[in-house]
Chains A and B, each alone.
Chain A
Amino acid sequence: MTNTWQDIKNANVVIVMGGNAAEAHPCGFKWVIEAKIENGAKLVVVDPRFTRTASVADYYAPIRPGTDIAFLSGVMHYLLTNDKIQHSYVKNYTNASLLVKDEFTFTDGLFSGFNDQTHSYDKGSWDYEIGDDGFAKADDTWQNPRCVINLLKQHVSRYTPEMVSRICGTPQDKFLHICELIAGTSAPDRAMTSLFALGWTQHTVGAQNIRAMAMVQLLLGNIGVAGGGMNALRGHSNIQGLTDIGLLSNQMPGYLNLPTDKETSFDEYMKTRQFKPLRPGQTSYYQNTKKMTVSLMKALFGDAATVDNHWGYDLLPKLDIPLYDIIKAFEMMNNGQMTGYICQGFNPLQAFPDRGKIRAGLSKLKFLVTMDPLDTETSRFWQDFGPQNPARSREIQTEVFQLPTTCFAEENGSLVNSARWLQWHWKAADAPGIAKSDLWIMSGLFQRLRALYQKEGGAFPDALMGMTWKYTDPWEPDPEELAKEMNGKFLADVTDPVTQVTSKAGTLLDGFGQLHDDGSTASGCWIFAGCFTEKGNQMARRDATDPREQGIAPNWAWAWPANRRILYNRASADPEGKAWNPKKPVVEWNGSKWVGIDVPDYVVTQKPSANDGPFIMTVEGQGRLFARNLMAEGPFPEHYEPMESPVVNVLHPKVGPNPVARVFDHDRSNFGKPGDFPYVATTYRLTEHFHYWTKHALINAILQPEEFIEIGEALAKEKGIDQGGWVKVSSKRGEVVCKAYVTKRIKPLMVDGKATHVIGCPIHWGFTGQARKGYGANTLTPSVGDANTQTPEFKAFLVNVEKTSAPVG
């Protein structure tokens, strides 16, 4: 989230698209209701189903799963042709004026540089014209046809209301009404907030879905302001924290990347990261990357990281491919390329696409370790549970360890919520039986492995031996010690050149501004610097005071970066530093510095006249309507059909789905055709459940006891399916037998003149826990991910549905 949960109440329009906030985040959704009641806001919901969010919406429109880019491009087309953009904002705060290289083109669904052998782009042409001064060229008059804004206009010109309706199945009048509501927030003092979640990410074009809305928001001037922003509601309680700390194949803490094979040396690695500004006078904060990286290496390897060994650069693993993501991992397992897998609080047999493939992959492992408070399906993948898990135990040679862990109520620590707040929590009781904390288990493994390597030697023990482990109890480090390590500290006495204050070695850092690249500071996660300072645990702060009740609460817990609650908040003020919306200012220039209810996302003393853009993390200082080379599919979002689609891509029939999606051969042969699987299916959560956990909780099992699908009345009638009756839903990959909920909330959509039926598949049931046994919707879903992130395409695929009888067993 760029903003806070409470800040949603400042919105004039709330658009929920690519998510179902009321069901997935009820307590955050209260701020939408608050916006409606206190701010007269209009709630707009665009969703394939009439959800519980839609039930309290002012306006609802249906959309075919997987066509959000067409819808949003249509919105951009509307805004640009009807001149409903926030001109001053777009001109000053986005890259609309910058000129793009002449070689950059878009024809028949493909951007320039496509290689149809490798299914990837040479992104060389996806950039600005660079002048002799090394800065990007610009035309502030927007006369030059190569201006980003003009290229964008041209790009979205195909997305007329007729075309949007043809692709999305959204009736034109509904689409246009929503455009009008959205366009109203182009006024400087009005804001729209976009609330989205996995409804956008779980597509082969997931990242581009979000980009499309981010561009809409930039055109409207809604980023950085109160009641605006791009608000990813996110999933698990600490999914933000795990992303921040980089528990992803290619990540290190604080959004630093793991090196690749191409970056053979530390200098090589730094060269591609310390981005120089592309416009005059810009901050381009990533110029400080070396300070962050060195401080991380000092935190990780301590004395084993020195100038001489390039801060231990070779102690880090390097990647030969962009990602060893989970789809890749299961591909490798199925190919016999993996020996062991550890699932810590993760249940891939339920959570990952093409369940049959997941089960087969796990069966080929030598060992599987699960660490979980609950008895997960994954830990019992080898056991026969009837049709819901038809495993042949005796043929499966995998050794399985099921390790019991503590749960939230039984440990201290911090979690990062989607508004980037780090909040500390305390232990209330002991764990049941002899369950142990993850810290104890991971430390136990670490210590044992160290001992084994010490005794026996083995492959490259240096990183294992060099990893810092200076904890009071090395067998179960105290969470506070770890929090302090992430926050960082001085390793030597350092004198601040401005204030002349000397910080002693060992002093905790106050913020990432104190980082150095000479090894005098250590910080395990630079963006968390400031969370645990000499003043104490900032994450445990409990002052809920909220100036002007504008939803900032700056002294409650601590938010990264630097306790800032609204990202890019400099953009809440006009170029002169006055708030766009005088009723809800965030930060303003008072003549000598930036002040306000939030920590300015800006150099506090930087004058407005300095012309330093508000987006200080980017090389332009501006929001990007043109993404340069940062996306896999292209600098502008383009509508590509889901990998399994009921129709051809009417914009460019030859380029149907995402041309750069990574598809493994085995998976490609497992895609279904509309002839066999004529209905569009989508998967989702219900508000009564949290993924695959709450079926273990009796109350939640009572509230939604049994697996079902949602099907429109028209299709149910056609197929003779009764309300509450049994149905078989099948895809190319498997079948699910469950109950049917025949509903008015899903209506057939007219897509390119054809009635298209959508089937909804809630995901929550499996074969362990309290609720009734289910097959799991991931039995049906295709194993293919977003081209940038490899997030699986759970939201749009093809199925067939038939009436059947109850499963046996």
Chain B
Amino acid sequence: MALTRREFIKLTGMGLAASSLGVMGFGASGVAQAAAVRPFKLTHATETRNTCTYCSVACGILIYSMGDKAKNARSNIIHIEGDPDHPVNRGTLCPKGSALLDIVHAPTRLKAPRYREPGGTEFREVTWDFALDRIARLMKDDRDKHFIATNAAGTTVNRWTSTGMLAASASSSETAYLTWKVARSLGMVVFDNQARV
């Protein structure tokens, strides 16, 4: 669900002639003038509410994407700025937040699973099935070998200490909860997240 509540931005772009923007210093000739300078790039962009991915101030952001989500169009994020309604950031963003567009489109964004075999010097692209099948196999083999069902005193402890996990504290709570369920269902105790740092 993409909220497009803040439609005034679009309205100002589309129906500018009818609006009263004189306060900002331009009359109706603004459109012509803007066209001469540089077209306002968000006029028909789709707006989506989101939260900045970086720090825990959790600034509200508005993501603008090209395309109206029609069947034949693939959305592409073209601009991100602060959500002026958000009570904490009130539209502002820090240098990281202001540059979110560049992390979304970072050239080092990963696009396909990759695998490096023992002693290998390069990654190679693999299918998801290969990667997940192989990881599940490695996990199960290790778990079956090293799982501790009871301790020396005979107490049931059901823990697995030979494979561990670090969870992502920039993932959503829903992801975190599901991750917790998966890790603990296997008895995993070597389990932490960035809160440890």
Contact = CB atoms under 8 A, between A and B. Distances in A.
Contact of B51 (A239, A408, A452, A482): A408
B72 interface: no
A328 B164 CA distance: 11
Interface in B52-106: 52-60, 63, 65, 74-77, 80, 82, 85-90, 92-104, 106
B29 interface: no
B158 A315 contact: yes
B112 interface: yes
Interface stretch (B7-15, B16-24, B36-44, B186-194): B186-194
Interface of B: 1-3, 5, 46, 48-60, 63, 65, 74-77, 80, 82, 85-90, 92-104, 106-121, 123, 128, 131-140, 142-147, 149, 151, 153, 155-197
Contacts of A367: 135, 138
Nearest to B153: A261
Contacts of A372: 110, 168
A248 B191 contact: yes
Contacts of A453: 140
A318 B104 CA distance: 40
A448 B197 contact: no
A430 B161 CA distance: 36
B166 A441 contact: no
Interface residues of A, number: 167
Contacts of A723: none
Interface stretch (A346-354, A601-609, A724-732): A346-354
Interface stretch (A166-174, A460-468, A621-629, A797-805): A460-468
Given A319-B189, A429-B77, A414 B172 contact: yes
Contacts of B178: 438-439, 442-443, 477, 482
Q: Is the interface of B mostly helix, strand, loop or mixed?
A: mixed
A341 B106 contact: no
A416 B139 CA distance: 31
Contacts of A675: none
A401 B132 CA distance: 9
Chain A CB count within 10 A is highest, among B56, B119, B168, B178, for B56
A238 B171 contact: yes
B171 A790 contact: no
B169 A430 contact: no
Contacts of B145: 339
A157 interface: no
Nearest to B190: A324
Nearest to B5: A542
Chain A CB count within 10 A is highest, among B5, B48, B155, for B155
Given A25-B57, A30-B92, A400-B116, A791 B48 contact: no
Given A247-B193, A314-B158, A697-B102, A428 B57 contact: no
Given A247-B191, A344-B168, 4 more contacts: A237-B170, A463-B187, A542-B85, A690-B55
7 contacts: A247-B183, A328-B190, A346-B166, A402-B116, A415-B173, A445-B132, A794-B197
Given A693-B54, A696-B103, A408 B170 contact: yes
Contacts of B93: 27
Contacts of A233: 55-57
B56 A234 contact: yes
B197 A700 contact: no
B152 to A, nearest CB: 9
B96 A393 contact: no
Nearest to A443: B178
Given A426-B50, A429-B76, A434-B128, A236 B169 contact: yes
A694 to B, nearest CB: 6
A339 B115 contact: no
B121 A423 contact: no
**Closest CB pairs A-B (n = 5):** A345-B168, A433-B111, A413-B172, A404-B110, A417-B58
Contacts of B65: 428-429
Contacts, number: 503
Given A404-B111, A467-B181, A235 B50 contact: no
B21 to A, nearest CB: 24
B172 A448 contact: no
A418 B169 CA distance: 12
Given A248-B193, A694-B99, A401 B134 contact: yes
A428 B187 CA distance: 36
Interface in A237-260: 237-249, 252-253, 258
Contacts of B197: 198, 202, 235, 326, 351-352, 791-792, 794
A240 B56 contact: yes
Contacts of A468: 181
Given A339-B142, A415-B58, A769-B108, A237 B180 contact: no
A444 to B, nearest CB: 5
Given A374-B108, A404-B112, A245 B176 contact: yes
A274 interface: no
A320 B153 CA distance: 11
Interface string A401-429: 11111011101111111110111011111
B53 A237 contact: yes
A340 B161 CA distance: 10
A369 interface: yes
Interface string A207-246: 0000000000000000000000000011111111111111
A390 interface: no
Interface string A543-576: 0101000010100100000000000000000000
B130 to A, nearest CB: 9
Nearest to A542: B85
Given A239-B194, A789-B196, A428 B155 contact: no
Nearest to A462: B158
A253 B179 CA distance: 12
Contacts of B157: 261, 317-318, 320
Nearest to B173: A241
Given A339-B142, A452-B140, A485-B177, A699 B99 contact: yes
Contacts of B99: 694, 697-700, 703
A340 B189 contact: no
Contacts of A373: 109-110
A397 B144 contact: no
A236 to B, nearest CB: 4
A733 interface: no
A449 B195 contact: no
Contacts of B60: 423
Contact of B167 (A26, A344, A405, A417): A344
B136 A398 contact: no
Nearest to A394: B119
Contacts of A660: none
A442 B87 CA distance: 34
A249 B189 contact: yes
Nearest to B47: A428
A318 B167 contact: no
A689 interface: yes
